[in-house]
Chain A
Amino acid sequence: MTRLLAVALAGSLLAGFATMSTAQAKDTITVGMVLEPPGLDPTAGAASAIREVTYGNIYEGLTRITAKGEVKPALAESWSISKDGLTYTFTLIDGVKFHDGTKFDCSIVKFSYERAMAPDSTNAQKQLFEPIASVACPSAGTAVVTLKRPTSLFLFDMAWGDAVMVAPKSAATNATDPVGTGPFKFKQWVKGDRVELERFHDYWGSRPQLSAVTFKFISDPSAATAAVLAGDIDAFPLFPAPEALDQFKADPKFTVHVGTTEGKTILALNNAKKPFDDIRVRRALAFAIDRKAVIDGAQSGYGAPIGSHYTPGDPGYVDLTGTYPFDPAKAKALLKEAGIKPGFQMTILLPPPPYARHGGEIIAAMLEQVGIKAKLVPIEWGQWLDQVFKRTDYEATIISHTEARDLDIYARDKYYFNYDSPDYKALYKQFVETVDPKLQMDLVGQLQKKLAEDEPNVFMFALAKVGVANAKLRGLWDNDPIPANDMAGVSWAE
Chain B
Amino acid sequence: MTFYLLRRVAILLATLLAASIVVFVVLQVLPGDPAALILGTGAREDTLAALRHQLGLDAPMWLRYARWLGGLLSGDFGTSFTYHVPVAELVRQRVLVSLPLALFAILLSTAIAIPVGVAAAARRGGAADAGLMGVAQIGVALPNFWLGLLLILLFAVRLPWLPASGFPGWDAGLWAGFRALILPALALALPQAAILARVTRAAVIDTLGEDFVRTARAKGLSRPAALWRHAVPNALIPVVTLIGLQFSFLLAGTVIIENVFTLPGLGRLVFQAIAQRDLIVVQDLVVLLAGSVIVVNFLVDLAAAWIDPRLRRAGA
Show the binding face of A for B, using Cβ within 8 Å. 2-3, 5-7, 10, 14, 38-39, 41, 44-47, 119-127, 175-176, 190-193, 218-220, 222-223, 226, 380-383, 385-387, 389-390, 401, 403, 406
Contact = CB atoms under 8 A, between A and B. Distances in A.
Contacts of B276: 38, 382
* Chain B interface size, under 10 / 10 to 19 / 20 to 34 / 35 or more: 35 or more
Contacts of B94: 192
Which residue among B53, B160, B264 has the maximum number of chain A CB atoms within 10 Å of its CB? B160
A175 B84 contact: yes
A127 B40 CA distance: 13
A15 to B, nearest CB: 9
Nearest to A8: B160
12 contacts: A3-B156, A14-B168, A38-B38, A45-B38, A46-B43, A125-B42, A126-B43, A220-B262, A380-B32, A382-B31, A383-B32, A386-B32
Contact of B83 (A39, A46, A127, A226): A39
Contact of A193 (B32, B84, B264): B264
Given A14-B172, A122-B51, A223-B164, A45 B85 contact: no
B201 interface: no
**Which residue among B32, B173, B275, B277 has the maximum number of chain A CB atoms within 10 Å of its CB?**
B32
Contacts of A389: 36, 41
B90 interface: yes
A193 B47 CA distance: 30
Label chain B's interface by main secondary structure.
loop
A158 B195 CA distance: 62
Nearest to B52: A122
A401 B41 CA distance: 9
B40 A46 contact: yes
Nearest to B276: A38
B40 A226 contact: no
Among B36, B85, B90, B276, the most chain A Cβ lie within 10 Å of the Cβ of: B36
B41 A220 contact: no
A13 to B, nearest CB: 8
A124 B38 CA distance: 8
A386 B164 CA distance: 36
Contacts of A10: 163
Interface string B158-170: 1011011110110
Contacts of B164: 3, 7, 222-223, 226
B163 A7 contact: yes
Contacts of A120: 50, 53-54
A410 B94 CA distance: 44
A390 B264 contact: no
Given A192-B269, A383-B32, 8 more contacts: A14-B168, A14-B172, A38-B276, A46-B41, A47-B38, A122-B50, A127-B42, A218-B262
